[in-house]
Structure 1
Amino acid sequence: MKKQTYILASLLLVSGIVLAQKSNLKRADKLFEMRSYMQAADIYETNDRTQHVLQNLADSYYYNANLQKAVKTYRELFVNYGDSIDIEFNFRYAQALKGVQDYKEADAHLSKYYNQEINTPAFIAVNEKTTPHTFQLAQLINETGTSSDFGLAFYGEDKVAFASTRNTENPSYSWNNLPYLDLYFATLTNDGKLENITPFSNEINTTSHESNATFSSDGKTMYFNRTNATRTKTEDERIAQIQIFKAEWVDGAWANVTKLPFNSNSFSCEHPSLSKDGKTLYFASDMPGTIGGFDIYKVAVNEDGTYGTPENLGPKINTKHREQFPYISDIDVLYFASDGHLGYGGLDIFRSSLVDGSFDTPVNLGSSVNSNLDDFAFTIREKDNKGFVSSNRSGFDRLYNFARQENTLTKYLVSGIVNDKNSKVPLLGALVTLFDSKGSIVQDVIVGEKADYSFKTEPNKVYKIRAEQKGYISQEFEFYTSGKEKIQQNINFSLEAYKDVEARIKENEKGALQVELDKIYFDFNKSKIRPDAATTLNVLVDLMNKYPLMQIEVSAHTDARGNDRYNLNLSKRRAAATLEYLVSKGIDRNRLKSEGYGETQPLNHCIKPGMCDQAGYEVNRRCEFTILN
């Protein structure tokens, strides 16, 4: 009887533990959906290490920037469940690995994710030479060491505004257990101190989050973030959306706080940045139609106070991951944070210039401003090359000011791409060569898939640069590097195929390009160039003079009648004689090659004596002129 009672009690205990774990797991999942990652992680740690638990636990650490624990948990997940893991976990695991500077393993996961080779160290080496500026960062003195401060913006000529968790009377945010964000303004001293730190009025700061202020040039209009007071239950998660608000400076105070009309309770709009002329507002959003998690958008600000329809900046700027914290400078250079473009780890700062109405390819700002963790909320005054950036590289979000300088490694850089002039297709395998003023080769490169090249040059020198591709007309330029100003040459090559320009140049059945000339005749058993043959060859002379880099193989062929060795020697003599004629007309011998093939390359079935009439054999007696480059 005692034994039965003991077994029953044990079963009840085990059942109770299982039910408790299920209950705890359900609560952890709910917290995870609400992005209460720290609380969710604490509960997940007490549960069995199933695939579901490990995925959410690793993500909880990742989203809270606890990357050491994220790496450890992702590694456990991949070891135990590698065959059944969604590919998106490869990306997050790689980002966590970059955060601890394990680039080798990170690149292995990124290569699998993108289905192409990713080499972060090689990218870093090139980027250090090509990014246009370097930055000298200094952390702003933070009077409350445990708070997070970020998103510092210019507020008039002598003030700045930023977001902070320093108000300990605010409730704690479940994402990171820090107080809710408020907006502050302050005076920035020359030695990097924030003085007279003052919260914005209660018209701006509420019991929710406020952050990321941007101001009009006259200081009378302010846009900022505010988190929605209510949470929205979506199909996958329960979250509070972020919305953009506008405030106006009226009678010495901020008033008329209104929500922008394109906000929604179903998605977030955040991180506003206003152009200098006040006509365009840039922001980040995860609204329907985004390419990735968050994209950069712009919207027209009309003179009557209305707004246009938000426009996505497109795939050149936006990736399938996060693009956030846009900042448009006074000269229309867009700076933004991204973890979708190749970088050093976490969010990196990129820049893109507005050219002819669209933004060009983003450039990573380099290791003097970007770290292996999150770097974001970049602002700059282009006129004095000074600005601010935020980063969590110290474990908390911190504010840094910087002075910007030209990158001396790129000061005398020449770079560009090689395309087909007509199709605009990149010419993979093209040879780009840099020559000095004496014509000696300084450097050359065979371009890869993107058909781009980059050479470092020296000041006060004359260079020539040439692009070549087989079957194309070569192109070259001369340029000078001035020692008095920044010279970053951008030389793009548009090569045109010979066959697209010259009607005489055709592609044969084997894909080789040949110059089609009238038939050249030789006297019987002779190799001397006859007057009629010379007239034909002069056409080739003119063509080679027109294209001084063109190289030609002269090949001679006989028919099948006669001795094999005799035919081979005869064809070699005729090819050599043709070459010598071209040389006599001024064509450089190094541009020519002669070859006799005898009867080995017939164009028809007449491969033996007696098989064909005179006309059939005559087809195979010929000279051919094949373009070698």
Structure 2
Amino acid sequence: MKKFYYILFVFCSITTLFAQKKASVKEANSLFGRKAYVKAAEAYEQVPQSKQVLQNLGDCYYYNFQMNNAVRAYGQLFFTYKDSVKKEVFFRYANALKGTKDFDKGDAIMSEYLGYEQSTPKFMKNITRNIPTSFKLQMMSKNKTNGDFGISFYGDKVVFASLRNAADKAYGWNDRPYLDLFSAKVNSQGQLTDVEPFSDVINTKKHESNATFSADGKIMYFNRSGEKQVKVGNEKVAMIKIYKAEFVNGKWDKVTMLPFSSDTYSVEHPFLTKDGKKLYFASDMPGSFEGSMDIYVVDVNEDGTYSQPRNLGETINTIHREQFPFLTEDGTLYFASDGHQGNGNLDVFMSLKISDTEFDKPLNLGSTINSEMDDFNFILDEKTQKGYFASNRTGDDNLYTFVQEENKLQYLVEGEVRDVKTTELLPGATVKLFDDKGNLLEEVLVGKDGTFDFNTEPNRKYKIMAFKDFYIPAEAEFDTSQKGKVYIDLQMKVQSYYDAEDIINKQADGTVLIELENIYFDLNKWDIKPQAAQVLNVLLGILKKYPYMEIEIGAHTDSRASDVYNLRLSNKRAASALEYLVKNGIDRKRLRSIGYGETKPLIICPKNDCTPAEHATNRRCTFMILK
């Protein structure tokens, strides 16, 4: 009987296996074109791994924030087809790597994409130490899989978008429920309480998210996905639109789509200023940088009409994503971007208002709030300096509350090291930072880009010095007492010894010699005679003029006498010259003596039969600069 069941089980398993339909590339592409990324990824995993399949597979995982799987697919793509991969895929692969905290490789790929070197850990360390505030975070829900984001203030409540609705409304992009709006209170522990679905007039069978309200609570703007999918390129997309609703007779009503919404591009993440006169939003409408999401603004006229959308310009917007605008009453703009330098993927930035139409260069808010994944939807209560934001750092979108704390302001000093004559950058130079008492605080080795940076403290005096072998050190003094001065840019220009002094010359083999008259010693002697002292006094002057110079004194003999004798004699002569310099005030640590004996003759005589003049030429001292 057991044998019968076993045979039946095997037969059913084989039947089921053959009944399963293996996916085709065509079917996978169709799913991908409809942005059904979860099912598309399942299909692509079953088909031969061509270049396009690997790219689409990586994209499926990337767009659903499955960064480990995205790295696996992109990694295989780059290993096999890197030379023909489109540039924009470099950007996604780099951010996927950063999303797995592989910053070394992620920065290497991003550097290829950008055309210049990038170091995310170094950047985030510097920016985090220099922003005015740090952030203390707390997740607002114990359930990490609710998919909460798009939070906004709503009187004494908050309104946010969430997946915590009917489980049977599957959305193809991520195979999860459609988004609805919810309202809630926030208790003293920063937790969402009394969570309720928002009005049925607002929530439909489509996505709703990102509400923003007028100061009196009678007008709201929000996002809703389009009723139909429109083909854009090879993909079918249901565009996101902004709608307006009014609170009339105790309920939300008069839901209308804004006139600049469209079936051919998305408008999303509306934010209404407190005075109700401007509406900010993100869009990939025509005029956006390379068709990506940019931040726009429209004027809300008194008659309820709107001005033409205005792009905030290239200071704020990049060729990548800028989304989720929020403005404080003083005009400070907070937004999310993956186009400005950050920790990887979306980071939160702030930008001070310069004029009615201009904003200052964005500032990354640092690693106390920004993670290697998407961080976005920052909103702030200016009275309490508390606020909320969203992040998918745990794998799903979740809401966080934050409290801003004063950050000990440290001043970033940055600069570069160049050759004063050629103006070329000098990688490999050493830059040292000293306090006003001469104590060494920190030193760095300049990288390939020739730049350096230090974090310092306010109201202090410093000295900075740049060192490079065979160069005269450069130095500069500065203080950080000037209020508001955060960045100090130092151009450290160093001059080579051989450009500064006629008697210092660089040889064909790269060595740098101080070319002096020859030092003569009596036969079999090594004491410094008056003539030799005159020559060494010239060297003494050079060493005192350049207090960081280090040299090697080399002594050479002719080929007469034995090898051992000549080696001993040359060592004594070199040591004698060194002691003369030490006796006259030169630090012994700056000097090295070595005897070469007869091993490095300037003139090689046939059959070792040199003339007296040739022997004299081979008897010499050399002075080589080490540093």
> Could you say whether these structures have the same fold, taking a TM-score greater than 0.5 normalized by the shorter chain as the test?
yes
CA distance in 2, matches of 1:381, 1:209: 27
CA distance in 2, matches of 1:413, 1:446: 20
Structure 1, residues 105-127: CA drift from partner, whole Å, max 9, x if none? 11121111111112222212222
The residue identity in structure 2 corresponding to 1:203 is: V
Query: How is 1:591-606 mapped onto 2 (pairs within 5 angstroms)?
Result: none
Equivalent residue, structure 2, for 1:380:
380
CA distance in 1, matches of 2:480, 2:346: 38
Is the Cα–Cα contact under 8 Å of residues 141 and 193 in structure 1 kept in the other structure?
yes
The residue identity in structure 2 corresponding to 1:302 is: N
Equivalent residue, structure 1, for 2:211:
213
Equivalent residue, structure 1, for 2:363:
363
CA distance in 1, matches of 2:332, 2:135: 17
Which residue of 185, 188, 206 maps to 2:186? 188
CA distance in 1, matches of 2:198, 2:159: 9
Equivalent residue, structure 2, for 1:110:
110
Is the Cα–Cα contact under 8 Å of residues 182 and 211 in structure 1 kept in the other structure?
yes
Moved more, 261-270 or 166-175: 166-175
CA distance in 1, matches of 2:278, 2:465: 41
Query: How is 1:89-104 mapped onto 2 (pairs within 5 angstroms)?
Result: 89-104=89-104
Deviation at 1:38, TM superposition (A): 0.1
Is the Cα–Cα contact under 8 Å of residues 331 and 382 in structure 1 kept in the other structure?
no
* Inter-CA distance 451–306: structure 2 relative to 1 (3 Å threshold): farther
Deviation at 1:412, TM superposition (A): 4.3
Ranges in structure 2 where 5+ consecutive residues have no aligned partner: 1-17, 417-422, 467-474, 492-499, 503-544, 547-627
* Inter-CA distance 237–453: structure 2 relative to 1 (3 Å threshold): same
* Inter-CA distance 283–458: structure 2 relative to 1 (3 Å threshold): same
Query: How is 1:159-558 mapped onto 2 (pairs within 5 angstroms)?
Result: 159-168=157-166, 171-292=169-290, 293-356=292-355, 357-408=357-408, 411-413=409-411, 456-458=455-457, 461=459, 463=461, 480=481, 488-490=484-486
Is the Cα–Cα contact under 8 Å of residues 91 and 113 in structure 1 kept in the other structure?
yes
CA distance in 2, matches of 1:434, 1:70: 42
CA distance in 2, matches of 1:118, 1:416: 15
CA distance in 2, matches of 1:60, 1:290: 24
CA distance in 2, matches of 1:31, 1:249: 40
Equivalent residue, structure 1, for 2:44:
44
Deviation at 1:201, TM superposition (A): 1.1
Equivalent residue, structure 2, for 1:151:
150
Taking only aligned residues, the RMSD between alpha carbons, in angstroms, comes to: 4.2
CA distance in 1, matches of 2:95, 2:456: 35
Deviation at 1:231, TM superposition (A): 0.8
Q: Secondary structure of 1:343's match?
A: coil
CA distance in 2, matches of 1:60, 1:294: 19
Q: Secondary structure of 2:388's match?
A: strand
The residue identity in structure 2 corresponding to 1:406 is: E
Deviation at 1:128, TM superposition (A): 2.2
CA distance in 2, matches of 1:70, 1:433: 42
Structure 1, residues 35-73: CA drift from partner, whole Å, max 9, x if none? 110011111111111112111111111111111111111
Is the Cα–Cα contact under 8 Å of residues 170 and 180 in structure 1 kept in the other structure?
no
Percent identity among equivalent residues?
46
Is residue 2:136 matched to residue 1:140? no
Deviation at 1:454, TM superposition (A): 6.6
Deviation at 1:441, TM superposition (A): 10
Deviation at 1:239, TM superposition (A): 0.5
* Inter-CA distance 119–252: structure 2 relative to 1 (3 Å threshold): same
Q: TM-score if structure 2 supplies the norm length?
A: 0.67
CA distance in 2, matches of 1:173, 1:132: 41
* Inter-CA distance 439–84: structure 2 relative to 1 (3 Å threshold): closer
CA distance in 2, matches of 1:448, 1:273: 43
CA distance in 2, matches of 1:450, 1:318: 26
Deviation at 1:166, TM superposition (A): 0.7
The residue identity in structure 2 corresponding to 1:345 is: G
Structure 1, residues 486-509: CA drift from partner, whole Å, max 9, x if none? x542477899xxxxxxxxxxxxxx
CA distance in 2, matches of 1:480, 1:62: 46
Deviation at 1:255, TM superposition (A): 1.6
CA distance in 2, matches of 1:49, 1:448: 39
* Inter-CA distance 46–477: structure 2 relative to 1 (3 Å threshold): closer
Is the Cα–Cα contact under 8 Å of residues 411 and 487 in structure 2 kept in the other structure?
no
How many pairs are equivalent?
478
Is the Cα–Cα contact under 8 Å of residues 151 and 159 in structure 2 kept in the other structure?
yes
